[in-house]
Structure 1
Amino acid sequence: MRAPKGACDAHSHVFGPFDAFPPKAPSVYALPDTPLEKHEAYRKTLGVQYGVLTQPAPYADDPSAMLDALRRSGGSLRGTAVAKAGIAPATLEAWRDAGVRALRFIEMRTPSGGRYPGSAGITDLLALEPILRELGMHAQLWISAHDIAANASQLERIKIPLVFDHMGQPDANAGPDHVDFQTLLRLLKDGGRWVKLSTCRVTRNASEDAVHKLHDAFIETRPDALVWGTDWPFVRMDTPPDAGALMDQFLNWTADESLIRRILVDNPKTLYDF
């Protein structure tokens, strides 16, 4: 089984070229040299025509490297940038016109327990929600399932589309019946929220079988609110996964061709306006 024509990897990153786009914040990981040309080669090998770039933490709130890639992509890429409260609406509008469809907000912590340098959080999201709504953009949130459950009432009040990174960062070992994961499923079922099926950050501390059960629960709940991503080029991983193996995993776990097309083609086309 292969990815259908028009498939999209909805979560990856570009870094560099560093002579033109050096990092803007201290990095907690070694920076890969993966500019647009390498991204295009990787997508060709994977068999996907479209991609969504997520601005990585070392670029803080400067999306120059990503914007350059978007402008040179011929319409095959969209972007998720980073911005804090107070950014000029005209700047966000210019980013949107360049292909940015969302802003990313982070509540996960670094290995040392601190915030990622240059990141924006839920406070920034709440402040920027009105302008994002006006511009037709959405919010992407990297947050643990535990914190999703703890902040569910606040998240329910957000009235723009909200995309949870990395499957909502659940504790896969706790199983799909755990209250935190059930809260995430409820939010997804209620509408207005999406989940990225990117497993490589979830399988690091759990078996594939455990993560497979969560994958199935998402598909049973809202297959029309799911997109898939690799997280290429796999920073902060001692043993990076093979992107082709991640695609095979998704195809094998999902199995149904209509569901595969919905998640790889139709849903990202809707969410990211390809």
Structure 2
Amino acid sequence: MASELRFPDGSCDCHVHIYGPYDRFPAQSEGRFSPTQANPVESLFAMWDSIGVSRGVIVHALAAGEDNEVTLDALRRYPERLRAVAILKRDVSDRRLDEMTDAGFKGVRINLLRQDGKPVSSGGMNLDDLKALAPRLAERKWHAQLWIETGDLDALAPELEKLPLDFVIDHMGRTMVDKGIDYPGFQKFCERLKTGRYWVKLSGADRNTRAGAPYADTAVFMTALAQANPDRLVWGTDWPHVGHTPESFPKEADLIDLFSKCAPDEAARRKILVDNPVRLYGF
């Protein structure tokens, strides 16, 4: 069933992944977040066409292959429709960084995600990698996209904020709903959104839920973020939803309807879907 929301022209899906074709871009094993099939950029565009989105941001996935090549290839073929976030090694050359910047990479994704004190996924870039790269990233106006839970963000914020970067927080701060809307880490993050150093992706309801689709238990969190600072919000589907079982696999219509209910003001929705991505990703 299709969503009732009609996206404004220029709407942007700010969190997707692509994989393959595997004969050109072999996938890597990444445990529970490994893709079950190839999902190349053409499949992404078909999904966007079906919901009315015209452009978006590829977050290069560890399982998508080494050296960001599948994402770089997509950016070069579709420069008007795509921007991207990379996974880097700290010894990446300046020449390679300049090449990626010219192609449309705008940030790096840092894996700091823990739940109940345990890492959710191994691999990727860590905080030491970010510290080593931060001066060179800042020169190129890149940001740090943090895969982190809001309580851990609160603990690390004093250290992070010494870096010359802005921060984009994945999946609503990855706060599981049973922690409650008054969870101190989440409340402090809502305050940080007002400082201008942070952005957040209104995505990942299917990751943070305990009740499952249509993710109504996450609505209070998304609504709180939408009210905290609509000038620092972007939205994403997290397509193709790696890591889900067939039983839990999200429907785009459910994710879109949830967003529509949590951001009912049309002017605010336009900021989140169109204007903010232009500022953050340079469309």
TM class by smaller structure = over 0.9
Q: 1:132-153 deviations in whole A, cap 9, x for unaligned?
A: 1100111101011121122121
3-state DSSP of counterpart to 2:67: coil
Q: 1:208-260 deviations in whole A, cap 9, x for unaligned?
A: 34311111111221110000001000000112111122112212221111011
d(CA) in 2 for partners of 1:202, 1:24: 22
Paired AA for residue 228 in structure 1: W
For residue 171 of structure 2, the aligned residue among 166, 177, 186 is 166
For residue 220 of structure 2, the aligned residue among 197, 209, 213 is 213
d(CA) in 1 for partners of 2:206, 2:102: 31
Correspondences of 1:14-53 after superposition (within 5 Å)? 14-28=18-32, 29-53=34-58
User: After alignment, is 17-26 or 124-133 more displaced?
Assistant: 17-26
Q: Could you tell me whether the CA contact under 8 Å between 2:237 and 2:252 is conserved in 1?
A: yes
For residue 198 of structure 1, the aligned residue among 200, 203, 207 is 203
User: After alignment, is 49-58 or 200-209 more displaced?
Assistant: 200-209
2:70 maps to what in 1?
A: 65
1:242 maps to what in 2?
A: 251
For residue 228 of structure 1, the aligned residue among 228, 235, 258 is 235
TM-score under structure 2 length normalisation: 0.90
d(CA) in 2 for partners of 1:268, 1:87: 27
TM-superposed deviation, 1:156: 2.5
d(CA) in 2 for partners of 1:132, 1:61: 20
d(CA) in 1 for partners of 2:62, 2:177: 25
3-state DSSP of counterpart to 2:200: strand
Cα RMSD between the aligned structures? 2.0
Q: Could you tell me whether the CA contact under 8 Å between 1:25 and 1:118 is conserved in 2?
A: no
1:84 maps to what in 2?
A: 89
1:267 maps to what in 2?
A: 276
Pair 1:9 & 2:16 matched = no
CA distance 1:206–1:146, shift in 2 (3 Å) = farther
User: After alignment, is 134-143 or 236-245 more displaced?
Assistant: 236-245
3-state DSSP of counterpart to 1:186: helix
d(CA) in 2 for partners of 1:121, 1:201: 24
Paired AA for residue 52 in structure 2: G
Q: 1:5-59 deviations in whole A, cap 9, x for unaligned?
A: 1100000011000000002455433432110111111110011001100011213
TM-score under structure 1 length normalisation: 0.93
Q: Could you tell me whether the CA contact under 8 Å between 2:79 and 2:104 is conserved in 1?
A: no
CA distance 1:86–1:192, shift in 2 (3 Å) = same
Can you give the 5+ residue segments of structure 2 that lack an aligned partner in the other structure?
A: none
CA distance 1:170–1:117, shift in 2 (3 Å) = closer
CA distance 1:187–1:155, shift in 2 (3 Å) = farther
Paired AA for residue 195 in structure 1: V
Identity across aligned pairs (percent)?
37
Paired AA for residue 204 in structure 2: T
3-state DSSP of counterpart to 1:151: helix
Q: Could you tell me whether the CA contact under 8 Å between 2:27 and 2:64 is conserved in 1?
A: yes
Can you give the 5+ residue segments of structure 1 that lack an aligned partner in the other structure?
A: none
d(CA) in 2 for partners of 1:64, 1:83: 12
